[in-house]
Structure 1
Amino acid sequence: MTLDNRGMEPPQPMIRTLKYLETMESGEQLAIVNDRRPMFLYEELDELGFDHVTESQEDGSFKIVITKRGE
């Protein structure tokens, strides 16, 4: 699943992403695409038990692949 959060003003991308993460099971992945690097999201992901990898895209956006850790 990929959530395209481009064009949204903060904090909407973070709210949308966190809402989707509530439905995920261990081992599942979600990719998000944001206009900005989601600095505040990283702390939340760490606290909630998600791994994340960020890649800069050619258009200046950021793709973050989020994986829910096993319980």
Structure 2
Amino acid sequence: MSHPKTPHVVDARYMEPPGPFEATMEMLDTLKDGEKMLLLLFREPHPLYRVLRQNGHSYETELLPDGTFEILITR
């Protein structure tokens, strides 16, 4: 899946936990500093936000009309 914001996308909307977290961490490990990835979910991942901040990543969250949370994460 490609997206205008970044080619690195994890569509975790239909994954069961802990799949979204694991897929996000695996994708982050492949990114170079400054690269971005996009995580798509149907709920806001508050525990993930803590882990991202602890590891020095920044993120922006946008709620789309269909109920999808787009979390754009920068390594």
> 1:50: how far off?
0.6
Determine which of 19, 29, 37 is the counterpart of 1:22. Answer: 29
TM-score, with normalisation over the residues of structure 1? 0.89
Q: Secondary structure at the match of 2:52?
A: helix
Give ranges in structure 1 of 5+ residues lacking alignment.
none
Identity over aligned residues, as a percent? 38
* More contact order relative to length (CA 8 Å, sep ≥ 6): 1
Structure having the larger proportion of residues in strand: 1
Structure 1 residue identity aligned to 2:26: K
Let me know the Cα RMSD of the aligned residues. Answer: 0.9
- Gaps spanning 5+ residues in structure 2: where? 1-7
Corresponding residue pairs, total:
68
Check if 1:55 corresponds to 2:68.
no
Query: 2: distance between equivalents of 1:39 and 1:15?
Result: 15
- Which 4+ runs in 1 deviate beyond 4 A? none
SS in 2 for 1:63: strand
Counterpart CA distance in 2 for 1:48 and 1:23 is 15
Structure 2: how far apart are the matches of 1:10 and 1:57? Answer: 22
Query: TM-score, normalising length from structure 2?
Result: 0.84
